[in-house]
Structure 1
């Protein structure tokens, strides 16, 4: 029995208490990574190939409870790689039909949290660069290199 298993709980019992519409959906969503996603790794490889060094999954500000995907501390640039589903991409996001109210609320909370992070960073003199998972990572890396080098001067 795993460390999170509860004796007597069946998969159907867990699904009834969950936000997921089915046990299969629950397993699929739990399998999503919070870091080291394919788009994030592609961007990091492109940045590294261009000679930039950075912190991964780090707090840009000590008092900030949130971590950012990529942090360039000397130039005070933070980079977030947003997933189209989780962050409500204006081009690609489609709300699921199952548990529609839950997902609408969840994506709204994520968007609010993203806005709060941007405000906190800007208040502290940082620049937040957002890259969407559907963006061309080579082009995004070129843009980030320009921003980082421009802020170093």
Structure 2
């Protein structure tokens, strides 16, 4: 699973974070894949199929009456959760599962650096 690999690489680099942490926001409960609580950075690793990646996502051929609305709800929930987190002062990092691990780690590091700068 891509989020496990990212967690492993971040841990190896010395970062400490929370996993499976529910964030109770006004209007929703959100569970990012990785949460840096003190820095208020939430990281999501989105699967290409489940979150309709524009590069690798595809429309299902079977049971389209179920999958079409399901994937649309996933996309809408992603947009809504990102907006709610940002409104609550969080930095949101969304990565596709196909992003190379070194690029994913770099994106998280940059978000953490920006969060540190804002805190000063």
TM-score by length of 1: 0.71
Pairwise CA RMSD of aligned residues? Answer: 1.4
Equivalence for 1:39? 2
1:120 Cα deviation after fit: 0.6
Q: Is 2:90 aligned against 1:126?
A: yes
What is the alpha-carbon distance in structure 2 between the residues aligned to residue 79 and residue 67 of structure 1?
10
What is the alpha-carbon distance in structure 2 between the residues aligned to residue 92 and residue 79 of structure 1?
20
Kept in 2, the 8 Å contact 1:39–1:133? The answer is yes
Kept in 2, the 8 Å contact 1:80–1:130? The answer is yes
Match of 1:51 among 14, 26, 31: 14
Equivalence for 2:34? 70
What is the alpha-carbon distance in structure 2 between the residues aligned to residue 134 and residue 109 of structure 1?
21
- In structure 2, the gaps of 5 or more residues are none
- In structure 1, the gaps of 5 or more residues are 1-37
Q: RCO (CA 8 Å, sep 6+): is it higher in 1 or 2?
A: 2
Kept in 2, the 8 Å contact 1:87–1:110? The answer is yes
Match of 1:83 among 47, 51, 59: 47
1:68 Cα deviation after fit: 1.0
Give the number of equivalent residue pairs: 116
Matches for 1:1-153 after TM superposition, within 5 Å: 38-61=1-24, 64-153=28-117
Kept in 2, the 8 Å contact 1:58–1:67? The answer is yes
TM-score by length of 2: 0.89
What is the alpha-carbon distance in structure 1 between the residues aligned to residue 23 and residue 13 of structure 2?
22
